[in-house]
Amino acid sequence: MTATEQAWGELERLLGHRLSIGPQGRLTALPPDPATAGEVMAIAARSRLTVLPTGRGARAHWGNPVTRADLEIASSGLERVTDYSPDDMVVSVQAGVSLADLNGLLSKHNQVLPLDLPFPAATTIGGLIAAAPLGLSRSGYGQVRDWLIGVDVIAADGVAVKGGSRVVKNVAGYDLCKLYAGSLGTLGQIVGATFKVRPRWETSVLVRAEVPSTDRIEDLLAAWQVTTLSPAIAVVELSKAGATFWLGFDGPAETVQWQSSVARTVLTDLGGQEATIDSAAVTRADLAQRLAGRVGAVTVLRASVLPSDILTYWHQADEMLAEKGVEVTSIAQIHHGTMWLSLTSETSPNWASLVSGLREKARSLGGNLVVERIPDEVAPVVDSFGLDAASLTLMKRLKRGLDPDDRLAPGRMWRES
Amino acid sequence: MESDRLISSLQAICGPQAVLSNPAELLAYDCDAFTLEKAQPLVVVLPDSTDEVAQIVSLCHEEGIPIVPRGAGTGLSGGALAPEGGVMIALTRMNRIVELDARNRRALVEAGLVNLRLTQAAHAHGLCYAPDPSSQMACTIGGNVAENAGGPHTLKYGVTTNHVLALEVVLPDGEIVWLGSRTDDSPGYDLRGLLIGSEGTMGIVTRAVVRLVPLAPAVRTMLAVFETVEAASEAVSALIAAGVLPAALEMMDRLIIEAVEESFHYGFPTDAAAVLIVELDGLEVGLDRETDKAIALLQAHGAREVRRAKDEAERARLWAARKKAVGCVGRLAPSKVTQDGVIPRSQLPAVLKAIAHISERYGLRIANVFHAGDGNLHPVVLFDERDPDQVERVWKAGAEILETCLAVGGSITGEHGVGVEKLAFMERMFSPSDLATMAELRRAFDPEGRCNPGKLLPTSKSCLDTRPRSQA
């Protein structure tokens, strides 16, 4: 009997109907609780099976394709809310709870985990932490790592490891929450998390304005860095036709009203066409969905540049892509310089070369570029992250320390050359 | 390496003025603001550039000598102690603001820059550096990074890790690396986030790219006066539960009030059992409504008086008093130890009562001045360090306070770090596998364990070096 067959037998006895063959022909375990998840991981470790931790698949395509995965361990069976103290504004959940369900629970107490992400119903908490996607309301509320105060992980050897705590401020030991956020399942299987949350706002509006004249866009981008307004949402959509600015304000009614009124004035004074308060026509959820890339885009890239370089990078990318017959649109976070580029093409361009070229341009501005979506057939030859050599050395040492046999999502974070 | 040869090698790198080795000079470096333990380094060196730091660290790497980074020495957990001797690298000469980019709301600064100087420079652009520890007039950005420092206003604005984008680090082998990115996002593992709060055990931070935030256009600062500590702590819980989001929410009890009033003559009510400093900020529009809501809650929970700072000068005086409060207790006792446990905010009334009992049981006065809004306690235990019996009781009382925090699901430290002070409590808060994971992370950066040894993680006799990670 091979080690794999022996593991299969052990897993079958442990999991029963919770062990199956997934759509990709991969052995898939669906542990019902964290302790069982630990046992599954321990069996995999004994048999040296490679493991791919998964959620509901909203961002399963992120990162480089794994080089091997004998066993998929899905967190979607871990569905309990383990503790919720509304008075402390802290909630602990297992990793399979969806972001939508979590916010549904929080809303009963007028609270929220304010991330405004695409696919909230398909985003498990485990996936949320593992992928650490950036949300629409980042200007107001930051990102996942700013809200995560505790994390429960099953390590490569099947042992439970805890990082952080259940209090909102804590510096005891190393900040494992930061390490696991964005680690894409390569350092352990996330089985639970604790978040601080905040009160839900009284009211919320979106202000929108088209800016057809390219030469006014820079003024508007700069304006939001100096106004006293504090938008929760500050994004701009860029295309050949010009720009559409979106400002979102949350809070007490009179504050929101005043801010949206000032925002409209700024937008129209600086060249925007009639600025409208547009909360009904396009919802916050609709707008958040646009961060996943334009409908029909075959490739979605996420560049990070300085906020003052958004327009420069946009022009550079547009020019380079136009030469290759690739159409591009972008949505960018004005305060953060994060730009999603949605690429479409009638032909089959050399995606690897395009990614490399766009990455170089971002680097020349002091930034970087990651791949969020790319056609399956070219994924194996495109480096999703393009990590610099010094960081890569340290990351490999960390990975080796926590997963000495490289069995967790091997190849996902970097390609072995 | 002989110490004479080491000293001359260090002098060759930094110049003779920047190397301190005689016992009188070293006396100032035998502890930080945690004074219960003391240990001297072999030598202190004050480099002036990243390159000099790298040369010093490379030399120590070749010779197998421990290195201990130090900022201004304001740390409260013994993080800048040199328990294994070695070379202490003090970053205070590296204190420049290299670049302040107002358009992009960020600055590139050296690690030895004093926190307050950065905020003062940013003010000219309508910006500030949000983390504002009470020691901000002296503490350095590098030290803040090492401890993941907080401060009163981090309740709303977040702690150091929320405001640092990238770090230039000299690794324990002397290599210079940048972790994170000067832009807001960085691909791969968040090494920046891991380094912040690592207490100098993974490398020496030499420069940082920090985020600056706009100054709030309007501020309302109040002092709420209470007859009992319980009422004040219940008011804190009520404010949080009601969804009021103050910029700062601080508590001081009677012992502190008396000491602060004697020093600052602010007009604190010395007959009160506790006061809360409540600060709300944001846009002028709507701020009064939020303030009224807070005042109503404070009064409903027993505030006998709520005073509003009438202008910026009064507000500044109030904050000066608060931030120097721990220093003021020098009037009450020759020595003090400040604890740093964190508890769920709803547990404040019960835990403050428990601390009062601990104070009685050990016959030690304990003053409380702390970040009530985020449940970060700072019980200041007063004693005389010349009396061994008192010192013994201080250790025991401190241990009980931390046990009390852990018993309600809290943490042993919210912003001061583990250092040498709380090493024994790491095993109370974390499991052997949690600590083994942390030890692996440390090894990835510092395989020889020479970088600020004896801090943060319990050492050899514990689980750390015994549990194998590999199944092989």
Q: Are A149 and A259 found together in one domain?
A: no
B284/A226 Cα distance (integer angstroms): 17
Q: Are B245 and B190 found together in one domain?
A: no
* Chain A environment of B182 (Cβ under 8 Å): 306, 366
**Class of residue B386 by CB neighbours under 10 A (exposed 0-12, middle 13-18, buried 19+):** exposed
- Report A:375-404 residues touching B (Cβ under 8 A): 385-387, 390-392, 394-395, 397-398, 400-402, 404
Question: Which stretches of B147-299 are assigned E, i.e. beta strand?
Answer: 164-170, 176-180, 204-211, 213-214, 218-226, 248-253, 274-282
A366/B244 Cα distance (integer angstroms): 39
| pLDDT for residue A280 is more than 80 | no
pLDDT confidence of residue B464: 34
pLDDT-based confidence at residue A279 (cuts at 50, 70, 90): low
Q: Are A115 and A153 found together in one domain?
A: yes
Token couple for B466 = 């015994």
Q: Are B272 and B197 found together in one domain?
A: no
Q: Are B318 and B266 found together in one domain?
A: yes
Lowest model confidence (mean pLDDT) among A168-172, A343-347, B463-467: B463-467
Which of A135, A167, A199 is the last residue before a domain boundary? A199
SS3 state of residue A342: strand
**Min Cα separation A274/chain B (Å):** 25
Instruction: For residue A329, give the CATH number of its domain.
Output: 3.30.70.260
B394/B365 Cα distance (integer angstroms): 10
pLDDT confidence of residue B202: 98
Q: Phi and psi of A341, rounded to 5°?
A: -110, 120
Note the helical H segments in B76-166: 115-123, 141-147, 154-157
Task: Compare all CA atoms of chain B with the CA of A405 and give the residue at the minimum distance.
Answer: B470
Which of B189, B214, B239 is the last residue before a domain boundary? B214
Instruction: For residue A222, give the CATH number of its domain.
Output: 3.30.2130.10
| pLDDT for residue A277 is more than 80 | no
Place of tokens 């010093």: B56
pLDDT confidence of residue B466: 31
E strand or H helix at A251: strand A242-251
Lowest model confidence (mean pLDDT) among A105-109, A291-295, B19-23: A291-295
Domain for residue B293, yes or no? yes
- Cβ-defined contact of B286 to A255 (cutoff 8 Å): yes
- Cβ-defined contact of A165 to B472 (cutoff 8 Å): no
Q: What is the pLDDT of residues A224-237, one digit of tens each?
A: 877 789 999 999 99
Q: Are A236 and A309 found together in one domain?
A: no
* Chain A environment of B418 (Cβ under 8 Å): 171-173
B15: left (phi over 0), alpha (psi -120 to 50) or beta: left
Which of A184, A199, A214 is the last residue before a domain boundary? A199
Task: Compare all CA atoms of chain B with the CA of A171 and give the residue at the minimum distance.
Answer: B414
B365: left (phi over 0), alpha (psi -120 to 50) or beta: beta
A107–chain B Cβ distance below 8 A for any pair? no
Which of A229, A256, A288 is the last residue before a domain boundary? A288
Domain for residue A42, yes or no? no
Q: Are A146 and A182 found together in one domain?
A: yes
Q: Are A194 and A85 found together in one domain?
A: yes
- Cβ-defined contact of B416 to A404 (cutoff 8 Å): no
Which of B214, B240, B268 is the last residue before a domain boundary? B214
β-strand pairing of B248-253 with B366-370: antiparallel
Q: Are A111 and A193 found together in one domain?
A: yes
Domain for residue B308, yes or no? yes
Domain for residue A416, yes or no? no
Tell me the average pLDDT across A284-290.
93
* Chain B environment of A179 (Cβ under 8 Å): 189-190, 193-194, 441
Q: Are A229 and A183 found together in one domain?
A: no
B396–chain A Cβ distance below 8 A for any pair? no
Domain for residue B358, yes or no? no
- Cβ-defined contact of B186 to A304 (cutoff 8 Å): yes
B404/B417 Cα distance (integer angstroms): 18
- Mean pLDDT (chain A, rounded): 94
User: Considering all CA atoms of chain B, what is the largest pairwise distance in Å, rounded to the nearest integer?
Assistant: 69
What secondary structure, in 3-state letters, does A19-64 show? EEECCCCCEEECCCCHHHHHHHHHHHHHCCCCEEEECCCCCCCCCC
Tell me the average pLDDT across A365-379.
96
Domain for residue A62, yes or no? no
Domain that holds residue B198: 97-214
* Chain B environment of A397 (Cβ under 8 Å): 444-445
Tell me the average pLDDT across A230-245.
95
B138/B128 Cα distance (integer angstroms): 17
In percent, the amount of chain A with pLDDT more than 70 equals 99
Q: Are A152 and A230 found together in one domain?
A: no
SS3 state of residue A278: coil
- Cβ-defined contact of A173 to B457 (cutoff 8 Å): yes
Domain for residue B127, yes or no? yes
Q: Are B156 and B192 found together in one domain?
A: yes
- Cβ-defined contact of B290 to A225 (cutoff 8 Å): no
SS3 state of residue A211: strand
β-strand pairing of B176-180 with B97-101: unpaired
Number of other CB atoms surrounding residue A406 within 10 Å: 17
Domain for residue B242, yes or no? yes
Q: Are A272 and A336 found together in one domain?
A: no
Of chain A, the end-to-end C-alpha distance in Å amounts to: 34
Domain that holds residue A232: 203-288
Residues A233 and A287: beta-carbon distance below 8 Å:
yes
Instruction: For residue B188, give the CATH number of its domain.
Output: 3.30.465.10
A312/A316 Cα distance (integer angstroms): 6
| pLDDT for residue A366 is more than 60 | yes
Token couple for A14 = 């442990």
Domain for residue A92, yes or no? yes
pLDDT confidence of residue A281: 60
Domain for residue B61, yes or no? no
pLDDT confidence of residue A347: 87
E strand or H helix at B61: helix B50-63
B26/A7 Cα distance (integer angstroms): 60
* Chain A environment of B456 (Cβ under 8 Å): 173-174
Q: Phi and psi of B250, rounded to 5°?
A: -115, 145
Tell me the average pLDDT across A286-314.
95
Using alpha carbons, list the distances in angstroms from residue B46 to A378, B26, B84: 52, 13, 19
Residues B274 and B251: beta-carbon distance below 8 Å:
yes
Q: Are B149 and B198 found together in one domain?
A: yes
Task: Compare all CA atoms of chain B with the CA of A389 and give the residue at the minimum distance.
Answer: B177
Q: Are A251 and A163 found together in one domain?
A: no
Q: Are B138 and B153 found together in one domain?
A: yes
pLDDT confidence of residue B460: 54
Query: Structural domain tally of chain B?
Result: 2
Q: Are B188 and B256 found together in one domain?
A: no
Which of B299, B326, B353 is the last residue before a domain boundary? B326
Q: Are B170 and B276 found together in one domain?
A: no
Q: Are A210 and A141 found together in one domain?
A: no
Domain for residue A341, yes or no? yes
pLDDT confidence of residue A278: 63
Domain for residue A405, yes or no? no
Place of tokens 């007959």: B271
pLDDT confidence of residue A175: 98
Query: Structural domain tally of chain A?
Result: 3
Q: Phi and psi of A273, rounded to 5°?
A: -75, 170
Domain for residue B285, yes or no? yes
Total beta-carbon pairs less than 8 A apart between chain A and chain B:
262
Domain for residue A68, yes or no? no
Q: Could you state, in chain order, the average pLDDT of each consecutive group of 10 residues for chain B (472 residues)?
A: 92 97 95 93 98 98 98 96 96 98 97 98 96 96 98 93 98 98 98 98 98 96 95 91 91 94 91 96 94 97 95 92 87 92 93 96 95 95 94 95 97 96 96 97 97 90 36 32
Q: Are B186 and B238 found together in one domain?
A: no
Q: Phi and psi of B212, rounded to 5°?
A: -110, 150
Task: Compare all CA atoms of chain B with the CA of A41 and give the residue at the minimum distance.
Answer: B471
- Cβ-defined contact of A404 to B289 (cutoff 8 Å): no
Residues A243 and A180: beta-carbon distance below 8 Å:
no
Q: Are B105 and B210 found together in one domain?
A: yes
ipTM value for the complex: 0.97
Using alpha carbons, list the distances in angstroms from residue A46 to A4, A71, A306, A309, A410: 10, 13, 47, 50, 17
Q: Are A99 and A184 found together in one domain?
A: yes
A81/B94 Cα distance (integer angstroms): 48
Number of other CB atoms surrounding residue B472 within 10 Å: 7
